[in-house]
Chains A and B, each alone.
Chain A
Amino acid sequence: MAFTDEDIRHIAHLSRLQVSDEDVATYRDQLGAILEYVNKLKELDTENVPELAHAAGVVNTLRKDEVVGCESNVRDAAIEAFPLREGDLLEVQAVFTDRDE
């Protein structure tokens, strides 16, 4: 399948990426070419082949349920990295919009 400009705008929105009209055309062609290449996999018979879902092949790696605090300077550095903050609080734009009240 080839991508349309509308497909690219939809995928960009799903990906939370602002893309200019000029870039939409570039991405449409580039992603179309990559998709055409990966479609090669359709030739491959994968009937009854399990998925490789775990790279390390380990299951249920458990540890004791103990609370381990983080050093205070690690906490301070994390707060320091907030682009917008009020005191020690992270400032975020409103999540819910278009409310009537």
Chain B
Amino acid sequence: MDIQNLRIKDIHALYEQKELSSKELVSMYLDRIESENPSLNAMLSVSKDALEEAEGIDEAIAAGDEMGPLTGIPVVLKDNILVKGWEATAGSRILEGHIASYSATVVERLRSAGAILVGRANMDDAAMGSSGETSHFGATKNPWDTSKIPGGSSSGPASAVAAGFSPVALGSDTGGSVRLPAALCGVVGLKPTYGRVSRYGLIAMASSLDQIGPMARTVLDAARVLQAIEGKDAKDATSLGDLDTTVPEILETGVKGMRIGLPKEYFIDGMDERVKESVLSAARVLESGGAEIIDVSLPNTEYALAAYYIIMPAEASSNLGRYDGIRYGFSSSGKDLIDSYEQTRGAGFGREVQRRIMLGSFVLSAGYYDAYYRKALQARTLIKQDFDNVFKEVDLVLGPTSPALAWPIGEKFDDPLAMYLADIYTISANLATIPAMSIPCGFSDGLPIGFQLMAKPFNEHAMFRAGAYYQSVTDWHQRTPV
């Protein structure tokens, strides 16, 4: 059986026809992880309860229970999403050995939908990194070429889905951390509208930007996972209700009459020509399906990365204040309390995390707050207004996800600014709070390329419709690494 290409509906069909039990399926994925993970380092651990949970699902199916939307579907979780009783490190030494005392809302919802949690996936240290290299537990490799980075910070979930360790995964996206690795590993990655999915139980990085999002091989599978986890949660005051995803209906509708904008600021000198060609050909595919392609402008795009690298470190420096070596996690004892804090955090956080904490402390400090933090929040308003204006004219914006193909491991590791530029096309969606999704659209030198769709807040439906149509007439998503 080609488990690398199984979709949710395929798995449910096999269950219904009694051709496969959930226990058999989970065993196949666990075997694959055991044999293939050593070369990829995508998974940090597998669940010891997964097989037992699968047996429970099999008994329920045999007893004639109605199947839920994700019944018996294996899911891999980025290691910053809490599962009670599981280790939760966020890829950081500062949380090494930390056992979660409660579960995230998305975890509770996945379980209610019938999903089987397979294990914890690797990630950049505290979700800070664009390459998967900053994890305290070692770099993750790209399944298409293990000498290349998989993208970050959801490096493990992307690598795991691409390698066929699980049909779907959850990552988190603060500036592109779901979409960038999805593009570089050739899978679908979705960042929902801010507020669509509860952040309760997600280890916080930058709270006004963070969103949990699904990764899968198909747009439809990502949509089904989103449907299971979205909606209002009393434990996250920024989560919102009254949502409409209507997944099954989108398949038949096609893109006829949809208006899709190509922002001129997203196709610039310096971007990889091979990426540009693939992304423009994806636009032509949608155009042949009846969509209207329109040139648009997002004039403040060039300020997005600068605003992001003020707002994100500012929020992260506050959020990471909780790692004091006292209540949980790594602890190093010094001559007094302040010395203990400094020793614990100096040894517990990797360099990228330390850089961002210091940058955040600086931009929030007296005398610099107005010049940096306040200015960045004003820039954020202008960037959001750009999108508000464009979405009066078009249903979707289409552009590249990454400016380059997956690069060699080590290439940008000591040059933080070069690393940050990899996020140049993804961060605007987080700043503007809008949904965005990366979809595979080609290969060059054997490495995947992704294009990005963006929509106005809570219009994930439009992205699903165009994305599902695109995948119905292309086969990039069916290719698997050897």
B389 adjacent to chain A (CB < 8 Å): no
Nearest chain A CB to B134's CB is how many angstroms away? 14
A51 to B376 CA separation, bound complex (whole angstroms): 8
Within residues 42 to 72 of chain A, which ones have a CB less than 8 A from any CB in chain B?
Answer: 42, 44, 46, 49-58, 61, 63
A37 to B308 CA separation, bound complex (whole angstroms): 11
Within residues 90 to 121 of chain B, which ones have a CB less than 8 A from any CB in chain A?
Answer: 98-102
B392 adjacent to chain A (CB < 8 Å): no
CB closest chain-B residue, reference A94: B337
Indicate which residue in A18, A46, A92 contacts B375 across the interface (CB closer than 8 Å).
Answer: A46
A4 adjacent to chain B (CB < 8 Å): no
Q: Is the interface of A mostly helix, strand, loop or mixed?
A: loop
The stretch that binds A, out of B61-69, B264-272, B284-292, B347-355, is B347-355
Q: Is the interface of B mostly helix, strand, loop or mixed?
A: helix
A90 to B338 CA separation, bound complex (whole angstroms): 17
B358 adjacent to chain A (CB < 8 Å): yes
Complex contact A51–B195 (CB within 8 A): no
Complex contact B384–A74 (CB within 8 A): no
Indicate which residue in B336, B416, B431 contacts A94 across the interface (CB closer than 8 Å).
Answer: B336
CB closest chain-A residue, reference B383: A52
CB-defined contacts of A12 to chain B, threshold 8 Å? 358
Nearest chain B CB to A8's CB is how many angstroms away? 7
Complex contact B377–A51 (CB within 8 A): yes
Complex contact A18–B101 (CB within 8 A): no
Within residues 165 to 202 of chain B, which ones have a CB less than 8 A from any CB in chain A?
Answer: 194-195
Nearest chain A CB to B191's CB is how many angstroms away? 13
Q: A8-B358, A18-B342 are in contact. Are A41 and B327 (CB under 8 A)?
A: no
Q: A19-B354, A34-B359, A40-B306 are in contact. Are A56 and B238 (CB under 8 A)?
A: yes
CB-defined contacts of B98 to chain A, threshold 8 Å? 81
Complex contact A46–B378 (CB within 8 A): yes
Complex contact A17–B349 (CB within 8 A): yes
Complex contact B417–A55 (CB within 8 A): no
CB-defined contacts of A57 to chain B, threshold 8 Å? 195, 433
Nearest chain A CB to B318's CB is how many angstroms away? 11
Indicate which residue in A55, A80, A95 contacts B208 across the interface (CB closer than 8 Å).
Answer: A55
Nearest chain B CB to A48's CB is how many angstroms away? 9
Interface size, A (range)? 35 or more
Complex contact B349–A83 (CB within 8 A): no
Q: A17-B357, A34-B359, A82-B328 are in contact. Are A49 and B381 (CB under 8 A)?
A: yes
A56 to B237 CA separation, bound complex (whole angstroms): 9
A68 to B30 CA separation, bound complex (whole angstroms): 39
Nearest chain A CB to B157's CB is how many angstroms away? 23
B379 adjacent to chain A (CB < 8 Å): yes
Complex contact A92–B337 (CB within 8 A): yes
Complex contact B101–A41 (CB within 8 A): no
CB-defined contacts of B337 to chain A, threshold 8 Å? 92-95, 97
Chain B, 241-256, contact with A by CB distance < 8 Å: what is the 0/1 string?
0000000000000000
Complex contact B306–A41 (CB within 8 A): yes
A84 to B102 CA separation, bound complex (whole angstroms): 21
CB closest chain-B residue, reference A91: B326
A89 adjacent to chain B (CB < 8 Å): no
CB closest chain-A residue, reference B457: A57
B439 adjacent to chain A (CB < 8 Å): no
Chain B, 398-423, contact with A by CB distance < 8 Å: what is the 0/1 string?
00000000000000000011001000
Complex contact A16–B358 (CB within 8 A): no
B14 adjacent to chain A (CB < 8 Å): no
A33 adjacent to chain B (CB < 8 Å): yes
Complex contact A83–B325 (CB within 8 A): yes
Indicate which residue in B234, B324, B358, B380 contacts A11 across the interface (CB closer than 8 Å).
Answer: B358
B137 adjacent to chain A (CB < 8 Å): no
Nearest chain B CB to A78's CB is how many angstroms away? 5
Nearest chain A CB to B153's CB is how many angstroms away? 18
A74 to B102 CA separation, bound complex (whole angstroms): 6
Complex contact B310–A52 (CB within 8 A): no
Chain B, 55-92, contact with A by CB distance < 8 Å: what is the 0/1 string?
00000000000000000000000000000110000000
Complex contact A41–B357 (CB within 8 A): no
Nearest chain A CB to B339's CB is how many angstroms away? 8
Complex contact A90–B417 (CB within 8 A): no
The 5 closest A-B CB pairs, nearest first, are: A18-B346, A77-B101, A51-B377, A83-B331, A46-B378
26 A/B residue pairs, CB under 8 Å, sorted by A: A13-B342, A15-B345, A15-B354, A15-B361, A17-B358, A30-B417, A33-B416, A34-B309, A37-B309, A38-B307, A38-B310, A41-B372, A41-B375, A41-B376, A50-B381, A51-B380, A55-B209, A56-B195, A56-B238, A56-B239, A58-B237, A74-B84, A77-B100, A83-B328, A84-B326, A94-B337
**B positions within 8 Å CB-CB of A:** 84-85, 98-102, 194-195, 208-209, 234, 237-240, 300, 302-303, 305-307, 309-310, 317, 321, 324-331, 333, 336-338, 340-343, 345-347, 349, 351, 354-355, 357-362, 365, 371-372, 374-382, 384, 416-417, 420, 431, 433
**A positions within 8 Å CB-CB of B:** 8, 11-19, 23, 27, 30-31, 33-35, 37-42, 44, 46, 49-58, 61, 63, 74, 77-78, 80-84, 90, 92-95, 97
